Structure formats: C-alpha cells, structure tokens
C-alpha cells in the first residue's frame, strides 16, 4: 500500500526521499538481524516451516484491523494487542544485538513510546526496528524459494485487498486511527495533522479527494522484500561458505549475489511504485511492485 502527495516540488521530493530512507533502513537492519537469529537458533524451523506462522500473522493483523474498521470492536483493546505484537518484533531485532534481557528492556521502552508518544517520527523509528525484526526472523527461517513464493502470494492478496474488496483502505484508516506503527508516515507539509489523517482513495473511484499532507508506505511493503533479501543473505552465504551464519557477522556484511539481486530489485520496484503514485493519486497496491522487483532481482542473480 502506498500513497504520495499530488503536488509537485518540495513536498513530493520529501515524501519520496523519506519513504525510500525508511524502506532502505528496514532492508539494512533485516540483513544484520537475520544471521544473528539464525546462529542463535531463534527461528521457525527450516525450509518452509515458517510459512504457516507467516500466514497466521498476516491473517491476525488483518482481522484485528477490520474488527476496528467495520465492526466497532474496542479500539483500546485492539491497540493493546497490536502494540504487544510490535513489542515482540522489537525484541527479536534488539536481542540479536544486545542480548535477551537488554533487548526486552529496550523493546518495552519502544512499546511505551508508541503507546504514550505516538507521533509520526516515533512510530516510524519503532516500525523500522520492528519490521526489520519480523523480516529477519522469517528470513532466517524460510529458504529463499519459499520466501519468494510467499512474496508472490501476498502480492496477489494486496492487489485484491486494494483494488478488489477495498478493505486495505479501511485497514489503513484503522491503523491511522489507532496510531499504530503499521505504516510509515512522512509528513510533507508543516501543518500536517496526524489526528485528522485518513487514507483517501477517492481518485481511484473518480470522486474528488482532499490533498494529502503525508506520504505513506505500508509496513508490509518494506517487510516482505526485506524478508527475501535476508533469506537470500543467510541461506545463500551459508551454502557458499563466504558468510557463515554460525559466526557473528560484522556490521558491514558482504552479501551473496542473490541477496544483492533481491535488494537492488526491490529498490527498482520501489522506484516504479513512486512513478505510479506520482501519476495517479490515491491508494495503490505496493507489494506487486516491490515484491516483484525483489523476486526478479533474486532470480536474475541466481541465473547469472
């Protein structure tokens, strides 16, 4: 899911640069987290064992968002559950660097910030770490072929959710209403009002839409490409022996070619997505672009 302001000039550039920086930060942190989780044994089995937890996680998040958006379920209760899940993802990422206890303390701090200081900058910072933690966990667990298959499947679901049923817009509105770190929000005007922000897909249906004051990028649009990149990094390096997951990797890892291909491809897909949202305002499915680019880059690197 992605949307950018329609005006030319500064606001548009600010939105593109901001979302690109957050997108890249997730990728970088995920490839640092994944080998550490793999070497510690903290993962969902091997091969395709993690597909079921991944599917259940997507379904659970969707159900909670729709429960608020369409069925009036208690916002406070849903927010508590979803913020707790963010805390778990934070712990995965942070414990990989500072250990279990310190990671738990830092994760609890992140949860407190999201709950009591839900400003866009705070939510974005927490989302980068949490999304990278989730991507690293599943990347360390899934073999690249399974990861690529998952990317194709969720991209197809994203198309249906945005252009078919339209419930992705309702989910985004619910996330905004709950002030959850489930999407990246980059304000593009000084008078941005986070409390009044809603995701508006009016242009897609031909109805007038008010000018947005922020660029948004769904957290999933950063998570899934990073999942494939980190999977290719861990499993490709282990197979080639040039970056053993049994040893603590450096902060500047040398990525195997398939991981580089997935990383470059995801950025190509991200750039293509920006061209689309610049030309046509409204809510757009981001996963077909970023996931498609990541999978194409990974396959190209394997062939080469």
Is residue 9's pLDDT more than 80?
no
Non-local (6+) Cβ contacts of 204 within 8 A are 163, 280, 282, 283
- Mean pLDDT on 145-161: 94
Locate the domains of the chain by residue range: 2-303
Q: What is the mean pLDDT of residues 100-127?
A: 92
**Would you say residue 121 has pLDDT above 70?**
yes
Confidence (pTM): 0.85
**Residue 170: predicted pLDDT:** 78
pLDDT at 237: 59
Is 70 exceeded by the pLDDT of residue 200? Answer: no
Structure tokens at 11: 């606001």
What whole-number distance in Å separates Cα of residue 70 and Cα of residue 47? Answer: 37
Q: Which residue has the higher pLDDT, 41 or 148?
A: 148
289: tokens are: 């672009």
What pLDDT sits at residue 67? 76
1 pLDDT band, cuts 50/70/90, is: low
Give per-residue pLDDT as tens, 50-103.
Answer: 888 898 888 888 887 777 766 666 778 888 888 999 999 999 999 989 999 999
Would you place residue 191 in the very low, low, confident or very high pLDDT band (cuts 50, 70, 90)? low
């Amino acid at each position: 899911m992605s949307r950018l302001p329609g005006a030319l000039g500064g606001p548009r550039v600010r939105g593109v640069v901001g979302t690109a920086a957050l997108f890249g930060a997730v990728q970088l942190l995920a490839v640092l987290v994944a080998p550490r989780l793999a070497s510690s044994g903290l993962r969902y089995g091997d091969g395709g064992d993690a597909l079921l937890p991944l599917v259940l996680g997507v379904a659970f998040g969707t159900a909670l968002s729709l429960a608020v958006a369409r069925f009036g379920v208690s916002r406070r209760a849903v927010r508590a559950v979803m913020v707790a899940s963010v805390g778990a993802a934070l712990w995965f990422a942070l414990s990989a660097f500072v250990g279990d206890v310190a990671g738990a303390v830092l994760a609890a701090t992140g949860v407190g910030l999201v709950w009591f200081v839900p400003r866009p900058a705070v939510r974005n910072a927490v989302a980068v770490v949490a999304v990278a933690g989730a991507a690293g966990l599943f990347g360390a667990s899934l073999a690249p072929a399974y990861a690529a298959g998952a990317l194709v499947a969720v991209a197809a679901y994203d198309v249906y959710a945005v252009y078919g049923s339209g419930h992705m817009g309702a989910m985004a509105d619910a996330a905004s209403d709950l002030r959850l770190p489930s999407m990246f929000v980059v304000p593009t005007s000084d008078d941005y009002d986070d409390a009044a922000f809603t995701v508006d897909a009016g242009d897609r249906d031909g109805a007038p839409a008010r000018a947005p004051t922020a660029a948004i990028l769904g957290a999933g649009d950063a998570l899934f490409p990073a999942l494939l990149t980190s999977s290719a990094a861990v499993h490709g390096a282990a197979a080639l022996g040039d970056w053993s997951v049994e040893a603590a990797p450096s902060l500047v890892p040398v990525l195997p070619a398939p991981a580089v291909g997935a990383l470059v491809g995801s950025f190509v897909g991200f750039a293509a997505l920006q061209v689309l949202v610049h030309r046509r305002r409204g809510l757009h499915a981001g996963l077909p672009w970023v996931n498609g680019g990541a999978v194409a880059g990974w396959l190209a690197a394997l062939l080469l």
